[in-house]
């Protein structure tokens, strides 16, 4: 967005009772806070609706193609997903705590808690990076790029390529390998048609969620800078509160994504 300084409106010489944080067009701090609060709630509504499109797609494809979901789910690493769930839950705690710190004028606590939240956000993305690179490596890609690779003991390569772009031929290819591979390796099961759709949905949902984490990192950094400058106090803590709400929503979406993607089948 733009800088405010140039605008003549930021001139409140005729309102001596206006504290510095109060924008010129609001009557009093309560009105400003209430506006911000309503604004952020409405924004969160739009976020929910934004994700809802993906949830609807998920429901429809799962309803019509349960076999894809059961098959593909085995490729996701529940432990990593669980780790990320814990990380995010913890970060929600520190975020909520930060809001409390701001309300109680605890500058140091605010800085610590915001930093912790930030660390969690990066940790989450780190784990996601590990997961993603694994999938790229194994050819578990969305849609037409879906081209799973089977690993054999000792060789970590693309030797036996089951390359079946969702074609019906997939069913035959996987059979002759079964003796060699690790028995429960998921790629040994017959590949259902259009299995790539699961990964489309997986990458869209987690990717969009990841972008929200990135935005969250931006917001929290901004709060951190302002907190260090000592801009928040018991009269003015709105921004911490709003970002907190945003962060909880991002968290909540993950709470849904985790079971829907990792814990099926």
Partner 1 sequence: MATAHESTTNETSAHSADENYLTASYGLKSWLLTLDHKRIGMMYLMGVMGAFFLGGVFALILRAELFLGTPKTVLFDLNIESLGISMTAADMYNQMFTLHGAVMTFLFIIPSVPAALGNFILPIMIGAKDVAFPRMNLCSFYLWIGGAVCFLLAIVLGGLDTGWTFYAPYSTSTSFGGVFAALCGAFILGFSSIFTGLNFIVTLHTMRPPGMNWFRMPLFLWALYATAIIQLLATPVLGITVMLLAVERVLGIGIFDPQYGGDPVLFQHFFWFYSHPAVYIMIVPAMGVISELISTFSRKHIFGYTFIAYSSLAIAVFGFLVWGHHMFTASSELGAAVFSLLTFSVSIPSAIKVFNWLATMYKGSIDLRTPMLYALSFLALFTIGGLTGLFLGTLATDVHLHDTYFVVAHFHYVMMGGTLVAFLGGIHYWWPKMTGKMYDEKWASIFAVGIFLFFNLTFFPQFIMGSRGMPRRYYNYVEEYQIYHQISTIGAFLLGMSLLGAAIVLLRSLKNGEKAPANPWGSATLEWKCTSPPPHNNFDNPPVVGDPYDMQSVVYDPEIKGFVDRKPDNPNPATS
How near is the Cβ of 147 to partner 1 at its closest, in Å? 12
35-43, 93-101, 107-115, 182-190 -> range binding partner 1 (CB under 8 A):
35-43
Among 19, 28, 31, 161, binds partner 1 (CB under 8 A): 31
How near is the Cβ of 47 to partner 1 at its closest, in Å? 7
Report if residue 5 touches partner 1, rule: CB under 8 A: yes
Report if residue 17 touches partner 1, rule: CB under 8 A: no
Task: Express the helix, strand and coil content of the chain in percent, nearest 5 each.
Answer: 65, 0, 30
Q: Is 173 helix (H, G, I), strand (E, B) or coil?
A: helix
How near is the Cβ of 244 to partner 1 at its closest, in Å? 19
Q: Is 43 helix (H, G, I), strand (E, B) or coil?
A: helix
Residue 149: phi, psi to the nearest 5? -115, 135
Q: Name 13's Cβ contacts closer than 8 Å, sequence gap at least 6.
A: none
Inter-helix orientation angle 196-228/78-103, to 10°:
30
Report if residue 179 touches partner 1, rule: CB under 8 A: no
Report if residue 231 touches partner 1, rule: CB under 8 A: no
DSSP, res 262: I
Report if residue 20 touches partner 1, rule: CB under 8 A: no
Q: Name 207's Cβ contacts closer than 8 Å, sequence gap at least 6.
A: none
Please give the residue ranges that form the binding site for partner 1 (CB under 8 A): 1-11, 13-14, 23-26, 31, 34-35, 38-39, 42-43, 45-47, 49-54, 56-57, 60-61, 142-145, 165-166, 193-194, 196-197, 200-201, 203-204
């Amino acid at each position: 967005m733009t800088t405010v300084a140039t605008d003549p409106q930021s001139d409140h010489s005729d309102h001596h009772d206006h504290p510095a944080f109060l924008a010129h067009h609001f009557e009093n701090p309560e009105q400003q806070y209430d506006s911000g609060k309503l604004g952020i709630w409405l924004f969160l509504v739009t976020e929910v609706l934004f994700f809802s499109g993906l949830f609807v797609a998920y429901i429809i494809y799962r309803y019509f193609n349960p076999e894809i979901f059961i098959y593909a789910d085995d490729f996701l690493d529940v432990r990593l997903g669980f780790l990320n769930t814990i990380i995010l839950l913890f970060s929600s705690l520190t975020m909520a705590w930060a809001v409390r710190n701001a309300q109680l004028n605890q500058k140091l606590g605010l800085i610590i808690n915001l930093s912790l939240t930030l660390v969690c956000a990066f940790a989450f993305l780190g784990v996601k990076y590990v997961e993603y690179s694994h999938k790229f490596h194994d050819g578990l890609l969305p849609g037409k790029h879906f081209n799973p690779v089977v690993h054999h003991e000792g060789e970590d390569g693309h030797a036996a390529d089951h390359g079946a772009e969702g074609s019906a031929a997939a069913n035959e290819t996987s059979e002759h390998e079964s003796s060699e591979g690790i028995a429960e390796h998921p790629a040994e099961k017959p590949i259902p048609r259009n299995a790539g759709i699961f990964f489309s949905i997986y990458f869209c949902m987690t990717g969009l969620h990841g972008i929200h984490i990135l935005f969250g990192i931006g917001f929290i950094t901004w709060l951190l800078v302002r907190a260090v400058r000592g801009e928040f106090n018991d009269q003015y803590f709105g921004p911490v509160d709003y970002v907190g709400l945003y962060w909880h929503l991002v968290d909540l979406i993950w709470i849904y994504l985790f079971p829907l993607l990792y814990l099926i089948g």
